[in-house]
Amino acid sequence: MRPRNFQVAVSMRLGLPVLLEEKSCSLCMQIIDVYGDHAACCSVSSDRIHRHNRVRNLVDRIAQEGMLSPIMEKKHILGDVDGRRPGDVSLPLWRANKGLAIDVAVTCPLASSYLNDPKHYETYAEFKKHAYYDEGFKGTRFEFAAMVFETTGGTNEEGLEVLRQLFRFAAKHQNVQLSVYCGRAWARLACNIQSSVSQCFLNRAGSLAAVEKEIDFITLF
C-alpha cells in the first residue's frame, strides 16, 4: 500500500477526519464529509469495478496457492447464455464431483439503502446473488457461492466458510501452519479492500496536493 493510501485508510478506519471541511465530490458533486465516507459509496467512475476486480484477483491467487486450478470469469457455466458470468473465480472440482462458482462482491454499509440493515451483506448475497443465479445452476456440474465483503470488514457466512476452506488448502500446499496462513491471508484481504477505499477518496477529494496538506495538518493535531 502506498504511503498516502495507508495514511488515508488508517484515518478512515479509526474514524478520524481526512478533510478539514466538507467538499463536493469531484465526480458526482455530492457532499464528502470530513470523514470521507461518501467516497466508498460513490457509483460514478469505474472505481467500484476496480475494487471488485482486485478482491477477485486475490481470491483467485489464494485458490492458486491451494492448487485448486481456479479459472477467472469462466464462460458458459450456465450454458450458452450471454451476459451471465456468475463465476468470478471458478474451481473445477470442489466436492461430490462438482465444481464451485464463486461470485465476489464488495458492498458499502454506509450506502443509504443499507443503513438500516446491519447485515446487509447477507441480504445482498441472498437477494442479489442467489435469487438471481440459483435456478440457473440446477442440473449443472457447479455449485454456486456468493462471497460478499463490506468495505468496513464484514463478510457473509457463506463466503466466510468458503474462504476458510480455501485457506486450509493453501496452508497445506504452501506447507505453512494454518493459523499463520490465515492471519496473513486476512491481512492481504483487508489491505486490498482498504487500499481501494482510500483510493476512491483520493480520486474524489479534488487536488491531491491540497488533500495531502489537509491530512498532514489533521495528523499533527
pLDDT above 50: residue 209: no
Averaged pLDDT for residues 101-130: 90
- Closest-CA residue to 149 (of 124, 115, 116, 118): 124
Helix, strand, coil percent values for the chain (each to nearest 5): 50, 15, 35
pLDDT band at 170 (very low <50, low <70, confident <90, very high): very high
Q: What is the pTM of this model?
A: 0.88
Averaged pLDDT for residues 44-55: 93
pLDDT above 50: residue 220: no
Averaged pLDDT for residues 189-194: 94
